Structure 1
């Protein structure tokens, strides 16, 4: 079958995870990716394994092979004139350059956007760095922990008694890689149409803040109501619990879920005490004591099946071993062998009907494709694969009609992206079934229109119009089908059964519009034994093994924070853009399936790969690292905390000479990484003695003077005042008629042209554009529209609230 991106030429100047994962997503969809690596050593990930302290680590290099399959490799010394010529020769005939060497590193080689533009006037350049290429933090040393700390990803993960912890598994690097891949295809389209070079400056910090759901807006709502910042409570609940044969999670997202849980677990006496329980105390302890007998009589499989039968989100807690045995992934043959037959790895995060991703070859040997004098490095490409792009240069999706049936986060986030870049997005709800996000982060105390004031709904539905249609009514379905006939894309993220129940099967959608691209984002896939299981972001983190590597070694797995919805949505944006490119060339629409579980499993690949080659399960490390020590989060006298990382012996030698710590840090036991790891508890205690006596800002000043990665741990109320984000104009003000001016996160990059990652306009109110769409787009008269309102086919107030 054809590859959607077979015409695309990509130069990757990348290492580690973020840049290689970005280009991997493109390579799997057919792009010709040439990886430019330093001579002799190559990408450092070639030599990295999951257990670096083992004398013999069979997992060494396996993550590199997962991330770099389907690519080619060229050795290139960018410090030499010959190496620069080699790189610029590649750029001259390429479409995209992706690099993640760090802020200003290319300029240190006398390379960068200007040089690339001279070599190729239509090149698209994607630069990934910790804090972006500009701003006060851009040149500061950083580690994954300190970037997480500066983005509010170091927190207690909705477990009040838990100390501040990072998210494990290097998920933040995958996250920025996903955003960068979506940006790359958008930048390519912009450059193609505008006929000029385009540059995107992608920030890891900003990509992490984008996952938070604009939580600062919710805090503003609570403050305006006079409620202040709420005390920490356990969420979701009951969460991770132990049953007869292992760990399982039961997640009560709604009040009804909690009522059903209490009946199921045979503890109905706790139904009136939901709030008291989640805030801890005697009722909390009593609840878990009283549900234990029921749990201990049942296996993980029993608990999941019973809960799901009652529509309560429940999943196994997976790790690198048990995820291989999940019935849904086995039934869908999701895990495959590496082309060299050495290990088991995930396949792909999405399935495209006519242009599926493919594993065509394994990762290249270092320098396997070094150019020979007089030869052409790039393979010839068929002129039929040339793309003129969509829309116009600044708004590549202009002219695209998108129907958004999505609810909550994953589906609506896809169309939010398309709307920002020019698409006409029509969000379809009904007064009978409004998007449930309208009722989160919003409260009846705000007034009769409280359902219009949800900060998280507004955040995920910017740059859209809104139409209400009751699809259970024949008139509503007829109008919806007329809308589909004029659409380019339809997006939904229901459980698999919902569209079929509406009669909107794949066959019916093709009858209505053969050129339609249908993006379906089910929790577990359109087929398989779990196809009708219900879920949301946090259970997906649990079942895909993200939670398994987040938490303390001696404690249970904890949730990242529900960020999986973003990971899913941005993967779908990549797949959808590939489908649009294919349709532009062939006129062919197709089904794009993005199973949320399979997206998550692609991001935890290292756990599966490591288990398949070593038989060992990667575990939790708290805030520590196998390759950096000391590393941790330390409380200061002001009540704030700081995160710091000693990356190597050079860092340690500068750190130990600081006057506040040289009284103990000169101890010879700490001279080497091995010694610091062996005495990490002692070193932590000594660092804590120092930080506890001074303010966080004093600690940061001292550490940055000696170039040690450090950051104050950002808290929710302080996000909008974070200095670096402000300097990069990350917060975009949009005025809403009911909630006034609010600060939303733009997309996590700055651009050399176009909207600079900004949204075009505010989120709509329910049914705000009913007349506009029904009259102007579907040709109805005012009388016909009024009749639809009388029959409650359309409306502007959720049923039961009017």
Structure 2
């Protein structure tokens, strides 16, 4: 019950606010929902269309354990005392709570932290533009990159943007509450769902476009990973070959050693041009083997591989055996994901039953907001030192967020094994410093300092231990055996530094059947069901591409902030474990809880979905121009009928009826859009209050007016690459509007002398000796 000193009031409902509240409740906070008469609409929701009777829907039950509920209007004066008693107020109402209501609460409680979640953020030129998860996927560059070019681009199933917004809202809430507890000064954390989706579904394509001089890319921009989800003799299997060696091992596995020296086939662009040839060879091998046989052979070669999970099969998969990944919902009795992180040695809060609507009305006791220490206002993690052993994306985006929140983050690489994202470069190896041109490395490593240490050497480990001795946090995302091989175990590090928080981010856990398996975001999307509901029903499933790295990273930040709160109370450190797969399972929970509760499996529907109808991607005038439209409620439907002059559609007065008539509606809507420029069609739809967006390609997003206005993209000068359009956090603090990006992504070993010499006190002679031995350096070894 680490956060038991915090009261959270949650208004507006929906996934984003409810999961943010769940994160805080699971960590011990007192979370109170203010619901309208009859309860929050999500209580009556079932994605599979199951009859609920007098039960709450399983998604609502998953999101709202351990909370309390009152009925009322948050803008009513009768609610003023409750709002003012909150340490954190989460507001997801469509237009935001009335300013007078917020002002009164903040005047009564100057330390109040307001967290708002909205499609675009509460400010900026798009703030009042209608939007849904689907249209935001189009606007952020997510839809435009996904799918085979013979078909229209396709969205990622499962409203992933709302889940990513939720974890960012939870992080923003806890970080701002930490700052308020020190200074007594509250804040407004303005979370933009669009910005979270740019962060998680675009993968910094705008940075790569800038590096390549290709910010207006040639269409079509979509493709499918090769290999990715492939047919087997009895189903499908998922691969991920991020590293070149993984792909070379894959070629050997499928019996094509003749391609090892074929640079065109070994490069993604060339392989995509020859995709028919490659797929034929690959499928000749995979379809002759069962999924289990393929997984066994790929795992033996350390190629990331996974079965394709869904709501029915996920709990049975070997990847989760030996770990407490699932639990029972205390109200519904169905299976749901457990809390996606562990604070080792701390007793987790047991899930309490979901409250009935208004169950606690008139029963909420007085609460005095947390006292403050009278310190000057500062960023939430000012004064916190983080030693960062992470690589690729999930780990670096976690430490990046800690850095943007004010921590001093020292990234540790080695010249023998630099961060792999340095080598996903926009420059060929013939260019000097080509390893400094990786788009993801730039996106996830600003505001950090960089040192190199060969941790396979005693000298490197000795220096690392000196760094750690004075640190607040160590964070790493290797497989468990790596840090153990270096001797940098929790037992050793906590002995060196009893106040240390060590956050470990293994793909599958520190124990369990897949403890030593390598896994990337693609693997998690394949395992947890995200891929099962993405793509066209008559094609192989497709991966959403990207969200699992930030999901894991931000759950790690939330868990780390929770551990820091505990250390403030006890003075003692803690081992924190956050697995990438558990974070993904929580974001994919709807499939599992629907199947467990009702035996209904959510389908893969292309661009359609249960939350909006019509919902689709429609061809506009010009080559490869597309418009995404999603009608989410009856008012929007009435507006569309008026715009298209179709009064005869008035009988389609529910989403279910419109889904049943989807083909006929799509045909007419497609004919209306087809002769128009994409932007013109979108403008007319938006003016009528209908959510619609142009389908944007990822590299085009860099100059988006909403992102630039809100300083989500901030230019920063880099010593090798020049000006880089770097990513900030997808929320704004009212107290710190920006810029948050104060230093570019570091070059390899850039701060060796500053950190190891100036701060640790190593002499010039000692540094020279370490460099001569290859323990430190500034250029990758073996180029």
Could you tell me the TM-score, scaled by structure 2's length? 0.95
1:646 maps to 2:646: no
Query: What corresponds to 2:20 in structure 1?
Result: 22
Residue among 28, 31, 34 paired with 2:32: 34
1:712 maps to 2:691: no
Whole-Å separation in 1 of the counterparts to 2:772 and 2:67: 59
Change (3 A) 1:610 1:672: closer
Query: What corresponds to 2:409 in structure 1?
Result: 425
Whole-Å separation in 2 of the counterparts to 1:794 and 1:91: 54
Within-5 A mapping of 1:115-130: 115-130=104-119
Structure 2 residue matching 1:155: 3-state secondary structure: helix
1:98 maps to 2:90: yes
Query: What corresponds to 1:143 in structure 2?
Result: 132
1:46 maps to 2:43: yes
1:514 maps to 2:498: yes
Whole-Å separation in 1 of the counterparts to 2:497 and 2:588: 37
Query: What corresponds to 1:66 in structure 2?
Result: 62
CA contact (8 A) 1:50 1:59 kept: no
Query: What corresponds to 1:773 in structure 2?
Result: 755
What is the RMSD of the two structures over their aligned residues, measured on CA atoms? Answer: 2.4
CA contact (8 A) 1:219 1:229 kept: no
CA contact (8 A) 1:232 1:279 kept: no
Within-5 A mapping of 1:641-720: 641-658=626-643, 661-662=644-645, 666-667=648-649, 670=652, 673-720=655-702
Change (3 A) 1:438 1:320: same
Whole-Å separation in 1 of the counterparts to 2:434 and 2:277: 35
Partner deviation per Cα, 1:116-147 (whole Å, 9 max, x = no partner) = 21121110110000011122221222222112
Gaps of 5+ in 2: none
Structure 1 residue matching 2:280: 3-state secondary structure: helix
Shift, 1:288, TM fit: 2.9
Query: What corresponds to 1:731 in structure 2?
Result: 713
Query: What corresponds to 2:606 in structure 1?
Result: 622
Residue among 281, 289, 295 paired with 1:298: 289
Query: What corresponds to 1:533 in structure 2?
Result: 517
Change (3 A) 1:228 1:709: closer
Partner deviation per Cα, 1:529-555 (whole Å, 9 max, x = no partner) = 101111111111111111111112222
Residue among 193, 199, 216 paired with 1:210: 199
Structure 2 residue matching 1:750: 3-state secondary structure: strand
Could you tell me the TM-score, scaled by structure 1's length? 0.93
Change (3 A) 1:234 1:799: same
Query: What corresponds to 2:244 in structure 1?
Result: 255
The 10-residue stretch of structure 1 (599-608 or 141-150) with the greater mean CA deviation from structure 2 = 141-150
Change (3 A) 1:356 1:419: farther
Partner deviation per Cα, 1:405-428 (whole Å, 9 max, x = no partner) = 000111111111121222111111
Gaps of 5+ in 1: none
CA contact (8 A) 2:238 2:308 kept: yes
Partner deviation per Cα, 1:574-615 (whole Å, 9 max, x = no partner) = 000000010011011011100111111111111111111222
1:242 maps to 2:231: yes
Give the total of aligned pairs: 779
CA contact (8 A) 1:624 1:631 kept: yes
Change (3 A) 1:341 1:17: closer
Whole-Å separation in 2 of the counterparts to 1:243 and 1:767: 45
Whole-Å separation in 2 of the counterparts to 1:170 and 1:59: 23
The 10-residue stretch of structure 1 (295-304 or 702-711) with the greater mean CA deviation from structure 2 = 295-304
Query: What corresponds to 2:6 in structure 1?
Result: 8
Partner deviation per Cα, 1:134-192 (whole Å, 9 max, x = no partner) = 22221222222112222112234264444222211121101000001000011112222
CA contact (8 A) 1:519 1:593 kept: yes
Whole-Å separation in 2 of the counterparts to 1:227 and 1:629: 31
Residue among 353, 358, 365 paired with 1:367: 358
Structure 2 residue matching 1:666: 3-state secondary structure: helix
Structure 2 residue matching 1:242: 3-state secondary structure: strand
Query: What corresponds to 1:314 in structure 2?
Result: 305
Whole-Å separation in 2 of the counterparts to 1:276 and 1:461: 26
The 10-residue stretch of structure 1 (494-503 or 752-761) with the greater mean CA deviation from structure 2 = 752-761
CA contact (8 A) 1:59 1:610 kept: no
Shift, 1:672, TM fit: 5.1
Shift, 1:268, TM fit: 2.9
Shift, 1:446, TM fit: 6.9
CA contact (8 A) 1:720 1:731 kept: yes
Structure 1 residue matching 2:618: 3-state secondary structure: strand
Shift, 1:667, TM fit: 4.8
Partner deviation per Cα, 1:73-124 (whole Å, 9 max, x = no partner) = 0111246xxx3332x212322211111112x33128x423x22211211101
Structure 1 residue matching 2:213: 3-state secondary structure: helix
